[in-house]
Amino acid sequence: MAEEISEKLPFISYGRQSIDQDDVDAVSRVLFSDWLTTGPKVTEFEEKIAAFVGARFGVAVNSGTAALHAAMYALGIGPGDEVIVPAMTFAATANAVVYQGGRPVFVDVEAETLLISSADVERLISARTKAIVAVDYAGQPCDYEALRAIADLHGLALVADGCHSLGASENGNPVGTLADMTVFSFHPVKHITTGEGGMIVSDNEEFAAKMQRFRNHGISTDHFKRQKEGTWHYEMVELGFNYRISDILCALGISQLQKLPGWLARRRAIAERYDLEFQDHTAVTPLSVRSGVEHAYHLYVVQLAKGVSREKVFRDMRQAGIGVNVHYVPVHMHPFYRNNFGTAPGLCPVAEEAYERVLSLPMHQGLSDDDVQRVTRALWEALK
């Protein structure tokens, strides 16, 4: 009987895009225009995201992963270099270091926030360390003040993986201004989407120029030279990739960006409802939010008390049509890293323990108050 009922209720996914007719129209206009790719919508999207987050430059690419790769390239990461990366993230954060031949050094996270532990970062710095990549897990900015101090003291670059935190801020300073480079993703589960897409924002002109070449095979577009040597002339000055994003996708991104402030407000309102629901319970503890932080709530993550079977809660909620999820398998636990970098359980104990207890509840702007109530009811039911 219970199953019959749950089948009639729509499935509530943990994250989901919102697309309206304005988005469709914006994409259609580009389809009938002269530029499907490498045209004006790419530049417009870059400028609008950069302006939104308060950065000077934006470089759009075709995924958040490509954006991370471009950032590692701009820093000149190569064989022999180490980059400090938190264990509690999506694998792409570390993979980007490996693409460049570097070694990701996994750092543990703080138990209450699952954000990179600054104290542990300091312990892991070696003569080979070139950069720190901080991940704004769930949508809350890391302690960039502390990270900046460490980076400056040791002459390291600081990169923010802001794939969860577009629209977040720390003491009034937006994500996008808190590191040397900040990376965003426009995958459908993220705040705004281009289907697939990503961007790096930075105030550093040299980094931006490097990444513009990197996404386009390493080809320089030196207009002065072209004029002198003929308009056909171009030079491939370094090895790059085709990481370009199309105007079709950027038109969608521009249209989505207009709605982002309202969506952020809705995500925060949903988080407040969840917070209220869980405030007097010991079985379910939401992650702590640092003071001075404006959270972007890509995810709403709770930690289940020890002794609660996450497995059962997960299964029961999925059965009830609630798309809970688990973010993330600590990256150093993946076979690829164990086999190629010798990582093993015990390397980042806080992340490993959290992994056993975390649960991501549905969080996106399309959820109604009734949906949120369905989620919490299903959770209490599963905990019985």
Ligand X SMILES: *Cc1c(COP(=O)(O)O)cnc(C)c1O
Near ligand X by CB under 6 A: residue from 50, 163, 250, 284: 163
3-state secondary structure of 38: coil
Q: Which range touches ligand X (CB under 6 A), out of 7-15, 29-37, 86-94, 206-214?
A: 86-94
Q: For residue 120, how far is the Cα from the chain centroid? A: 22
49, 83, 92, 160: which one binds ligand X (CB under 6 A): 92
Cβ closer to ligand X: 165 or 379?
165
| Residue closer to ligand X (CB basis): 137 or 374 | 137
Q: Is 240 in the site for ligand X (CB under 6 A)?
A: no
The tokens of 348 are what?
Answer: 């980042």
* End-to-end Cα, the chain, rounded Å: 18
**86 scored as a contact of ligand X (CB under 6 A):** no
| Single residue of 16, 50, 75, 89 touching ligand X by CB under 6 A | 89
Site residues (CB under 6 A) for ligand X, limited to 122-141 = 135
Contact between 63 and ligand X by CB under 6 A: the answer reads yes
113 binds ligand X (CB under 6 A): no
- Other Cβ atoms less than 10 A from the Cβ of 124: the count is 15
Please pick, from the candidates 65, 202, 303, 360, the single residue that binds ligand X as defined by CB under 6 A: 65
> Distances in Å between the alpha carbon of 373 and those of 5, 244, 364, 381?
16, 42, 14, 12
Assess 167 for contact with ligand X (CB under 6 A). Answer: no
Structure tokens given for 319:
């059965």
Q: Which is nearer to ligand X, 187 or 374 (CB)?
A: 187
Residue 365 is encoded by which pair of tokens?
Answer: 């702007």
Judged by CB under 6 A, the stretch of 87-95, 125-133, 257-265, 266-274 that binds ligand X is: 87-95
Residue 233's region, left for phi above 0, alpha for psi from -120 to 50, else beta, is: beta
Please name the residue that has the structure tokens 């959770």: 379
303 is a site residue for ligand X (CB under 6 A) = no
* Selection from 140, 139, 369, 381 nearest residue 283 by Cα: 381
Of the candidate residues 102, 198, 330, 362, the single one contacting ligand X (CB under 6 A): 198
**Distance, CA of 129 to CA of 157 (rounded, Å):** 9
Catalytic residue among 190, 225, 228, 312, which?
190
Catalytic residue check, 48: no
What's phi and psi for 137, nearest 5 deg? -50, 130
The catalytic residues are 190
Instruction: List residues binding ligand X (CB under 6 A).
Output: 63-65, 89-90, 92-93, 135, 161, 163-164, 185, 187, 198
